[in-house]
Amino acid sequence: MTTTRSPTTPAVSRPSLQAVCGCSRVRRRLSDRMEANVVDVLDELYDKARAVLESFPTDKEYNDTFSNMERIRKSIRESVNELIRKLDSYRSSMIVRLKEQQAQLQTQEANINVLEKCFERRQAELSELRNDLEERTEERDLSKEQISQKRALLDEQEKQASAFNVGISRVKEDREEFTKYLKMVSPPIDL
């Protein structure tokens, strides 16, 4: 290799003729190989593109699929609308049932309030009856006590009366005896 120098540029090596020829052969071989590779790659790419395009549906298949999907969409929409109607009906019936239950609850609460007032009134009456019963029991106990006291007093008075009767009968007997004695002792007085 020979090198030439100019005063302003650095030294550049020039390839020899043999080197240049060898490179061109290599280039040709590479170029042939690359062309073959590119052709192979393009063939493969074309085949794949064709396979992809063939996998796409035809207009008839697309229209059939579209009409089938449209029919499915309509049936789904009808089913959904039917479900919505059923749910609305169920919701309405639940609202009516809930209102009925609330009315029943209010009625039951009113009944409970009435029963509570009645219970309070009955409890007041019961406490009055208990108080009255206690008073009557006390009165009865007092009456029994008074009766027993009166009976004791009556027994005492009967004893006193019988003792008094005995005393009277003794006095009568004494008087009769005294009268007999006087008759015997004193002469009869004429008036």
Domain boundaries, the chain: 19-56
Q: Two tokens at 60?
A: 């008839």
The one-character DSSP state at 6 is -
Contacts of residue 57, Cβ cutoff 8 Å, sequence gap at least 6: 65
Mean pLDDT along residues 75-83:
95
Q: Kindly tell me if the per-residue pLDDT of 136 is higher than 90.
A: no
pLDDT > 70 fraction of the chain, expressed in percent and rounded: 79
Q: How confident is the model at residue 26 (pLDDT cuts 50, 70, 90)?
A: low
Q: Render pLDDT for 9-18 as a digit per residue (tens, 0 to 9).
A: 455 455 554 5
Mean pLDDT of 86-108: 91
pLDDT at 92 over 90: yes
Query: Chain-centre distance of CA 130, in angstroms?
Result: 42
- Give the rounded percent of residues in the chain with a pLDDT score beyond 90: 18
22 vs 167 pLDDT, higher one: 167
Q: What is the mean pLDDT of residues 38-56?
A: 81
pTM of this prediction? 0.37
* pLDDT score at 80: 95
What is the structure's pLDDT at 24? 58
pLDDT at residue 96, rounded to an integer: 93
What does the pLDDT read at residue 146? Answer: 80
Q: What angle do CA 128, 132, 136 make, to 5 degrees?
A: 170
Q: Taking residues 57-72, what's their average pLDDT?
A: 89
pLDDT of residue 176: 82
Beta bridge partners of 4: 12
pLDDT band at 188 (very low <50, low <70, confident <90, very high): low
Q: What is the SS3 assignment for the chain?
A: CCEECCCCCCCEECCCHHHHHHHHHHHHHHHHHHHHHHHHHHHHHHHHHHHHHHHCCCHHHHHHHHHHHHHHHHHHHHHHHHHHHHHHHHHHHHHHHHHHHHHHHHHHHHHHHHHHHHHHHHHHHHHHHHHHHHHHHHHHHHHHHHHHHHHHHHHHHHHHHHHHHHHHHHHHHHHHHHHHHHHHHCCCCCC
Q: Can you give the pLDDT at residue 16?
A: 52
Name the 3-class secondary structure at 4.
Answer: strand
- Model confidence band, residue 172 (pLDDT cutoffs 50, 70, 90): confident
Owner of token pair 């919505």:
84
Question: For residue 158, with 0-12 CB atoms within 10 Å meaning exposed, 13-18 middle and 19 or more buried, which class applies?
Answer: exposed
